[in-house]
């Protein structure tokens, strides 16, 4: 996979916590970007900007993964746990 070198300024505290291994630094960045996408998608869901299924799609995670993340962010998605046992229809996902 092609790579691009990125230079960013961070506080001394964060710099001290970053691993020295470039592969691990890249993993830290990937995890942070994933968390940011999830947070932004759940904030949009909180504001009523789409369904939970849409938020999951925007965050790049499955609906099954998004449900507990929504609860962890203080949301109470209207979800029937039985819906998560099998495949969802487009209509079912749109209602979540």
Contact (Cβ atoms closer than 8 angstroms) between residue 58 and residue 25: no
Q: pLDDT confidence of 85, banded at 50, 70, 90?
A: low
Flag whether 15 is in a domain: no
User: How many distinct structural domains can be found in the chain?
Assistant: 1
64 in any annotated domain:
yes
Least confidently predicted of 7-16, 54-63, 77-86:
77-86
Gap between the Cα atoms of 46 and 22, Å rounded: 36
Q: What is the pLDDT of residue 66?
A: 92
Is the residue at 7 inside a domain?
no
In a domain, 11, yes or no: no
Calpha distance 67→79 (Å, rounded): 8
Residue 64: partners with Cβ closer than 8 Å, 6 or more residues away: 84
Judge whether 60 lies within some domain. yes
Instruction: Write out pLDDT tens, residues 37-51.
Output: 999 999 999 999 988
Task: Tell me whether residue 55 is in a domain.
Answer: yes
Domain extent, residue 32, equals 22-95
- Report which DSSP code applies to 87: P
- Mean per-residue pLDDT for 6-25? 92
Residue 59 lies in a domain: yes
| Whether 84 contacts 67, CB under 8 Å | yes
Residue 8 within a domain: no
């Amino acid at each position: 996979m092609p790579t691009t070198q990125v230079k960013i300024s961070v506080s001394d505290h964060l710099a001290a916590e970053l691993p020295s291994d470039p592969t691990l630094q890249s993993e830290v960045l990937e995890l942070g970007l994933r968390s940011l996408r999830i947070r932004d998608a759940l904030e949009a869901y909180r504001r009523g900007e789409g369904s939970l299924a849409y938020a999951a799609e925007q965050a790049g995670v499955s609906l099954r993964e998004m449900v507990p993340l929504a609860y962890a962010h203080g949301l109470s998605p209207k979800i029937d746990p039985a819906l998560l046992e099998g495949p969802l229809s487009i209509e079912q996902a749109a209602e979540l």
